[in-house]
Amino acid sequence: MQVEDDEIDLAALVGTLWRGKFLILFCAIAAVLMGGWYAYFQATPVYTSSATVALESRQEQVVDIESVVTGLSGDQATINTEVEVIRSRGLLEKLVNRLDLVQDPEFNANLRPEPRFSIGALVGLIRSLISTETEDLAVPSERSELDAVIDAVLEDISVSNIRQSYVFRITATTENPQKSAAFANTLAELYILEQLETKFEATEQATTWLTDRVAELQVQLEAAEAAVKDFNAGAELVSADALTGLNVQIKELRDRLGDTQIERDATAARLDALRVAAASNDIDVMAQTANDQTLNRVRQLMANSGQESPDRSAFDARFEQIVTRAQLEVSRAENQIGALQETIQQQEQQIVNQSADLVRLQQLQREAEASRLIYEFFLNRLKETSVQEGIHQSDSRILSQAVVPNRPSAPRKSLILALSMMLGLMFGSGIVLLREFAQNTFREPSELESRTGYTVIGQVPAIPARRRKNVLKYFVDKPTSAAAEAIRNLRTSVLLSNIDNPPKVIMSTSSIPQEGKTTQSMALALNLTGLGKRVLLIEGDIRRRIFSQYFELPNTNGLLSVLAGNLSLQDAVIRIDALGADVLIGEKAKTNAADIFSSERFAMLLETAREQYDYIIIDTPPVLAVPDARIIGRHVDAIVYTVKWDSTSHRQVREGLKAFEDVNLRVSGLVLGQINARGMKRYGYGDSYGAYNAYYDN
């Protein structure tokens, strides 16, 4: 069997749409009629009017001072924000109140008359029937009614920003042209007035706050200045220069203290040396240590006296004076050091105290200065804000007023008709394609061949006979009909299916019952007898045995009697004059039919029939119902597999053919039977089959 791929065949798709062209055309016409009915009779005409507002991103101020509420920047975020401001419920509420839209039935549903039938009423009725709980019917309040009107107005108002500009287009759509223009113009005016009111309120609030703040800052400034004055009155006046002078003085005192300490140390060392020399009682040592001119002269006089023990009193008295003077110098140095240290300590404490006072004073002065600056800033802002209260400018201006439209903007009748036609074409095409994709049966021989891989050797139309007994009469009375010619084509295809070994035993089967295989078997037998051939028709479906519905048969023996050996083949067959052939009917058997056809006697029966007849046609049961057909197929020369047009599913045919392939039997050809000519035209296949059918008489 041929394997299907996932590619879409555009030619087949176009062909499918072309075959369903009448259905598509009908859907398009119906859609256009419905669209025209809506556009011309049902749709309410509405009128659209637009006003444009320009955003002033840069404004010239009347006074060169900073505004409390600055102008808009003009970036995309600001533009989007302003669009939402125009569509805000607060602004629309002002519009509703100014135009008194609560009393307008177009926007207030409570003022409209109740329609005789509405979807809402039907839904409410269904809910009341389904619901088991009783609901309190709340009376709508004035606020809820106003909110509903605002919602309705919001649906009819649109605001858009013109690309690459600071211009907003305010568009209103209503059922009245004057109302549409009034909507757009009023909303634009309210938007600009809203900007002015917002700035005025902001300025007024800022003035009030600044007044209170300035009063508070004035009190703080006065308190800070009083603190500086009180501190100056209670503390010694200090300055940074005075502290610098004190630091210089204390440095000088420290230098003097160092020099005095050095001098004291030197004097103390000399005093110690003198005392050591005195302890030695050596005149020379004492004179050398004292290094005094007077003492040296006394020592010289004593040496010049020539006495062995000169008088030392003068020398000792002078040396004692020198020691005493050295002691006085040491004492005086100590006193100076103490005085200097005390003075340094006093000045250091004075520096510490005055530094703390200076820091405190500077802090108080800075606080007073800061309070003064803040006070002056807020005082200036208060004066600027007071000046701005009467000179505010809006951030937008009306660029063009909305005009009263001369014609309705909707419904656009030509557009509705065009869209209706397109929708109708799409709907019709969808139905055709859906029907085609959902189709699970066979309508064309090419499709049957492509899906099965077998050749279609016959196309047999449906026989216009209500009763099966009239089938043969139809073929006899109308030998030139399409059905008769289709059987002739089938006969030719079967006989030519194997040129080297023309088939003599032909089996007719199908997937399921009621596919027309029995009718085709009899028609094929009738056609072969018309050629002067000896034909035997065997009823191989011994389970149903429906030959009696086609012929008047005596209650006689048949196939089972021959197989049992009770009758010969010549004695068991029945000659049907209307058919021109011999018929071997089936009999009811207690033994399983598959076992009967698997027996050697059945094979011998067929061999005997081959010798006595030119052609043997066996009508077998459906292959999916019972295994009889596969068993009988082992003894035949050709297998004709019948598929009912637009009835047998793909799966059934595929499984039936596979059942033969599983037992190494190959079907000689397929027959698409019971073709409905009108159905072919309805499905769009009339172009190919209609001409074939019209060529013959019915």
Within 8 A by CB and 6+ apart from 649, the residues are 440, 441
Pair 169, 247 in one domain: no
pLDDT for the residue 181 = 93
Q: In this structure, are residues 216 and 388 in contact, taking their beta carbons and an 8 Å threshold?
A: no
Cα(275)–Cα(91) distance, rounded to whole angstroms? Answer: 114
Determine the structural domain holding residue 188 and report its residue range: 23-196+406-416
Collect contacts of 322-328 with beta carbons under 8 A, ≥24 apart: 322/274, 322/290, 322/292, 322/295, 323/271, 323/274, 323/275, 323/278, 326/267, 326/270, 326/271, 326/274, 327/271
Q: Tell me: do 680 and 604 sit in the same domain.
A: yes
Asked if residue 12 belongs to a domain, the reply is: no
Are residues 478 and 599 located together in one domain of the fold? yes
- 587 in Cβ contact with 558 (< 8 Å): yes
CA 154 to chain centre: 26
d(CA 121, CA 649): 47
Q: Are residues 412 and 359 in the same domain?
A: no
Cα distance between residue 385 and residue 674, in whole Å: 98
Task: Determine, yes or no, domain membership for 329.
Answer: yes
Same domain, residue pair 493 and 632: yes
Residues facing 396 on adjacent strands = 55
Amino acid at the residue 239: S
Q: Is residue 5 part of a domain?
A: no
Residues contacting residue 690 through CB under 8 Å, at least 6 positions apart: 677, 680, 681
For residue 261, report the phi and psi dihedrals to the nearest 5 degrees: -65, -35
**Is 232 among the domain residues?**
no
| Gap between the Cα atoms of 404 and 178, Å rounded | 6
* Residues 678 and 648 sit within 8 Å (Cβ to Cβ): no
Amino acid 63: pLDDT: 46
Which residues are 574's β-sheet partners?
A: 583
Q: What pLDDT score was predicted for residue 612?
A: 94
Question: Tell me, what amino acid is at 400?
Answer: S
Structure tokens at 525: 């037998």
The full 3-state SS of 112-143, as one line of letters, equals CCCCCCCHHHHHHHHHHHHCCCCCCCCCCCHH
Q: Tell me, what's the pLDDT at 508?
A: 95
Q: How high is the pLDDT of residue 32? A: 92
Over its C-alpha atoms, the chain yields an Rg (Å, rounded) of 65
Q: Are residues 486 and 564 in the same domain?
A: yes
Are 364 and 266 part of one and the same domain?
Answer: yes
CATH number at residue 681: 3.40.50.300
The two structure tokens encoding residue 650: 């793909």
pLDDT at 338: 87
Q: In what order do the strands lie in the sheet with 505-510?
A: 456-461, 669-675, 638-644, 505-510, 615-619, 535-539, 581-584, 574-576
In a domain? residue 327: yes
What is the tally of structural domains in the chain?
3
Residue 520 and residue 630 share a domain: yes
Residues 632 and 603 in one domain: yes
Whether residues 275 and 349 share a domain: the answer is yes
Question: Is residue 170 in a domain?
Answer: yes
Q: Are residues 412 and 448 in the same domain?
A: no
Are 543 and 591 in the same domain?
yes
What is d(CA 568, CA 585) in angstroms, rounded to the nearest whole number? 14
Q: What share of the chain is helix, strand, coil (3-state, %, to 5)?
A: 60, 10, 30
Q: Is residue 621 in some structural domain?
A: yes
- Other Cβ atoms closer than 10 A to 293: 8
Domain presence at residue 115: yes
Can you give the pLDDT at residue 3? 41
Q: Provide block-wise average pLDDT over 10 residues at a time, the chain (698 residues).
A: 56 80 91 90 89 74 50 74 90 92 88 63 63 51 88 92 90 92 92 84 80 85 82 66 77 85 87 83 79 80 71 81 87 87 81 75 82 84 69 77 90 89 92 82 89 92 83 86 90 87 93 92 92 93 86 81 89 90 87 85 92 94 92 94 92 94 93 84 58 50
